[in-house]
Structure 1
Amino acid sequence: CPLVSKTMIDRQLKLLEFNHYWEVRHQKQRQEDRLQEVRHQKQRQEERQRYMDMARQREEIINMLHQQRQKRIQVRHTVWLALNPPEHLETDVEEVRRLQ
């Protein structure tokens, strides 16, 4: 059995400690990287949701404005017809009066 010097044992221990240190550090770094990736994905998902909500709200506003415009056009048309009845309507009224 060859004898191993204390210096050799110390070197081996230091090497093992060094390797263990780097392995632990590497594992921690991988965990940090995974956590950072999860945070990044969550942030992107929240941003997407926010943009989807904004798009939905925009569509609702556009639809509401369209409905308001249609109502204004209808009111204007009704008022215009009341002030300017079509000629055929006047002739129809006259014909009804004659028939009575």
Structure 2
Amino acid sequence: MSSEGALILYYQACVAGMKAVLAASGRDVGGGDDGHVVLIGEVGGLLGPVFDELLARIGEDRRERNAVSYAAVVPSALAVETVRQDARELLDAASRFVRAND
């Protein structure tokens, strides 16, 4: 897989995890302008301040994903690895949240 594809895939895993957190709370965020920014903020309110740093990084990951998707920027190996680690951490948190709210 290309580095571009990997970064986009890992970021989309973060989005899926955040949407699962919202769904477990009976909430949703629609698409549109700044939809992912709103999604990150809503999930932060649900997961609590212990995840503020992670969600700030996912905000940075979003900007990197936008650069790759819309400006044809080739991400560095470090950027891809960062998003991969953030996806893993977010999916772990989302899984715990969903189980606790099931």
Both structures adopt the same fold (TM-score exceeding 0.5): no
Q: Relative CO higher for 1 or 2, CA cutoff 8 Å, sep ≥ 6?
A: 2
- Choose 1 or 2 for highest CA Rg: 1
TM-score, with structure 1 as normaliser? 0.26
- Taking structure 2 as the reference length, what is the TM-score of the superposition? 0.26
